[in-house]
Amino acid sequence: MKIFGINAFYTGLKNTTGQKDNPSPLNSLYIHPASHNLISADTFTKTSPEISFGANLITSQSKFKRLVRTRTMHCIYCNKVLVDEEELNRLEKGGVFSEPINSFINKTKKYYPSMHEAHRKVYKMISKYAQQSPQTTLEQVMLTLYPRAMRNLRKSQKPLFDKLYNSAKNLPPEYKERFDAFMKIQEYKLKDKPFINEFSAKEFNYNLYNMCKTVGNDRLKNIMISKAGYLTHPTFKNKDEEIPEKLLFKIYDINTKYKNSVKAFLKEVPPAKDSIMLQIIYAIRLAGQKLSRNDIIELCDRAVNEIIGLPVKVPFSNKTFRYDLNEALDGLPDEALKRKMLNITKDLPTSMENPYSFIAKHAGASSEKIGHNLLFPSTVTIEHLKTKYDNGQNVIGNYALSCAFDNNFVRSNRNMNVVLNHYNPRNPQKYFNEIFQVVKEGLLSVEDALEQVATFQEQSGRKIDTSALNSIIKPQVKVKPKKKQRKY
């Protein structure tokens, strides 16, 4: 089972403006203004003496994101107030997410206006429990809400599964058989029933990596991630291939300088690969125990049962469902039918948009992970106005500030208009008005701001009024040279 996408919200890019090697459109705008519709003058010059253009200008992603620390900045799409990710990290490291929910609510309620609808609904449910049972934790609340959430989630999923079954009637007999076998496994997952499931090292790594995002102990986190990585080595899949000694030394932390201990170790290595895999997972489980992370412990317990062939309960996952369906339909001659069936799965409710999906996904998760995932969608991220997929560059003129929720939405659709159409059409103008104010304060160059506008207009087809910048950008008056007087 292959899993793609470790971190849908990952935005960690190198801080580079690329301004010297990649001149912005605004540089050409100064020379050939007729090709742009931003400002109609021939040439421009900065004329405001009170603005200091120079060393303090924003030239990197990190500085651009830090605007949310000193002023109120809104998302270019939804116009919600953006939250500083560092502030979220401080809450997490301070143990706020694992505190009783009455304390959690008191310390996080100021972020409620920044939340999207699904997360607001979950937050409201938690707030009710804070009044009734103030000493419970986020982890306990999710487990309590889980049965009702599952019933509502299955109701919202059912029409989509019905569409899939109807479409599957048109499959050739061989593919219909494969589809039925695939859906039988999904039934076990949807009904939360145990079944024999093949262990997938990649899926184990994917799930563990996501859980480790909220682990504060870097040493134990690195141990778990590195050990889990050994499980994906190709030799564990090939029964006839021996595990390389170098890999064994890494797995068991053997110092090869001491030859006697190496010889003794090689004699005691278990011959069965499953035994070695189990020992790796037990080591990860031990780290999870030291961290009191029930979600990591349960993940390891499930992996152990999968390896030794015992039935396990596997939670339903939209991402896994789509991937496995694609594999079941691999090679289908009717490409249009395959595309139709895969497109149906895109409408499955997600934890980003459906409160019941969020609760179902986090039942059994740690309080730290629940709190993090509840607030993280509101944090500020760098949006590439022209995506890297379309060869968009890492330059200030290609950046905008967006909440993680909408940034992820754009990435999934590779089209910003799909996201813009969900919100008030005036939101981008409101956002750029804030950017123009940043320019007036001398923190962002006017060239970069206008390049952002030009890129946004090009990608979205929507116009932005830049007249707010007229006071600092004025046409340069060309003085005609005096004619030389003739000497008589």
Q: Which residue has the higher pLDDT, 387 or 61?
A: 61
Whether 444 and 57 have beta carbons less than 8 Å apart is answered as: yes
For 214-225, the pLDDT digits (tens) are 888 999 999 999
Q: What is the mean pLDDT of the chain?
A: 84
Which residues have C-beta within 8 Å of that of residue 405, sequence separation ≥ 6? 78, 116, 352, 377, 378
For 52-109, the pLDDT digits (tens) are 445 578 889 999 999 999 999 999 999 999 999 999 999 988 999 999 999 999 999 9
Q: Is the pLDDT of residue 50 over 50?
A: no
Q: Which amino acid is at 76?
A: I
For 149-203, the pLDDT digits (tens) are 999 999 999 999 999 999 999 999 999 999 999 999 999 999 889 999 999 999 9
Q: How far is CA 344 from the centre of its chain?
A: 22
- pTM as predicted: 0.72
* Mean pLDDT score, 294-317: 93
Q: Which residue has the higher pLDDT, 319 or 79?
A: 79
Please choose, from the candidates 452, 406, 441, the residue with its C-alpha nearest in 3D space to the C-alpha of residue 78. 406
Q: Domain ranges in the chain?
A: 25-82+380-475, 87-192+317-376, 201-308
For 13-44, the pLDDT digits (tens) are 334 334 334 333 333 333 233 333 333 333 33
Write the DSSP assignment of 81-132 as a string of letters: BPB-HHHHHHHHHTTGGGS-HHHHHHHHGGGGGGS-HHHHHHHHHHHHHHHH
Helices (H) and strands (E) in the chain, counts: 22, 4
Q: Is the pLDDT of residue 417 over 70?
A: yes
| Residue 427 in tokens | 């939101």
Residue 345 pLDDT: 94
Q: How far is CA 345 from the centre of its chain?
A: 19
113: burial class by Cβ within 10 Å (0-12, 13-18, 19+)?
exposed
Position 421 confidence tier, pLDDT thresholds 50, 70, 90: very high
